[in-house]
Amino acid sequence: MEANVGWTVGRTIGRGATSTVSLAAATTTGDLFAVKSCPLSRSSLLRREQSILSSLSSRHIISCLGSDVSGGCYHLFLELAAGGALSDYAGYLEESKIRSFTRQIVLGLFYLHSRGVAHGDVKGRNVLVGEDGRRVKLGDFGCARRLGDVGLVMGTPAFMAPEVARGEAQGIESDIWSLGCTVLEMAMGKSPWPEVSDPAAAIHRIGFSAAVPTTPEWMSAEGKDFVSNCLRRDPKERWTTEQLLRHPFVAEADEEPPAPCSNPKQRMWVSPKSSLEFGLWESATEEGKEEELLEIIKQLESPSANWSWDDSWVSVRETTEEGEEGYY
């Protein structure tokens, strides 16, 4: 998406430590996307995220659609996943689905690591689900870094590897530990360290003890072995993504389980952006069909999103008939 294309910002659908994620729409086409925004004075991390994401191209990673500067803020345009975050489904997944999602996450990490990039904050909240509930992609690259880059370690305490918790290093091996924690999160529906609620206590236990998260008894032997190969306290002993892809827990998992219908469009990654391209909206743009349009939007709803279209939507950039741009 070009920066000079008009767009409108809607409801807030997520908040982070330094930025806000909102629903947005292109003025001319109505295409929906996510926009991650922060003040220009604090935009260095978001600009770094844009730099990394724009260099990547994988069906297992959320796409960067462009960026813009307006209203004193830096805006990063991102593909919008209609299914919400994987953490919203955690605790309600059969092992077959956990295997499938895990394989897709590992494929995303395999691509990242082969490009010399560490994600830095792998967890269920940063894995986004497609509208069909079958495909997932890695998102939120706010903690990502290129190998060799120096700087403060970042991430979510409960998902940090021991070396990260100690502030020693953060690299591709750390992503593998976080992957193991994410598998446990999918299985249990809670933190991999459920007995520790204080972030400081979690960092101390992860970084300065011999403890590892507990795998639930009901998981298969293959699942337990997969997790144990991720959760090795010595980063040199953790399996690589290439090794993990050959592990029986994910080696034969359905990467993209077929949709229940034979329509090939239903076998694609479906987000509101791509759904618009399916022509679903053409019949709803005629006079008197606004309610039908709203119902189509609601069908794409993320679990916690508010899709009501009202006067709170604000035009951020608008192109006039004369071609002049306006900023709001």
Binding residues for ATP: 36
- Distance in angstroms (rounded) separating the CA atoms of residues 258 and 45: 38
Catalytic, 121? Answer: yes
In the set 31, 68, 121, 140, the catalytic residue is: 121
Q: In what order do the strands lie in the sheet with 64-70?
A: 64-70, 73-78, 32-39, 20-26, 7-15, 314-319, 325-327
313 burial level (CB within 10 Å; 0-12, 13-18, 19+): middle
Whether 64 contacts 78, CB under 8 Å? yes
Q: Take residue 170 and report the two structure tokens written for it.
A: 């953060």
Q: Take residue 252 and report the two structure tokens written for it.
A: 């034969």
Q: Take residue 299 and report the two structure tokens written for it.
A: 């069908």
Considering only CA atoms, which of 19, 45, 66, 33 is closest in space to residue 142?
A: 45
**What sign results for the dihedral spanned by CA atoms 22, 91, 275, 127?**
positive
- Distance in angstroms (rounded) separating the CA atoms of residues 90 and 177: 18
Dihedral angle over CA of 275, 260, 294, 285, nearest 10:
50
- Distance in angstroms (rounded) separating the CA atoms of residues 256 and 95: 15
Whether 278 contacts 86, CB under 8 Å? no
List alpha helices for the chain, DSSP H. Answer: 44-53, 95-114, 162-165, 172-188, 199-208, 221-230, 241-245, 248-251, 272-277, 290-299
Residues catalogued as catalytic = 121
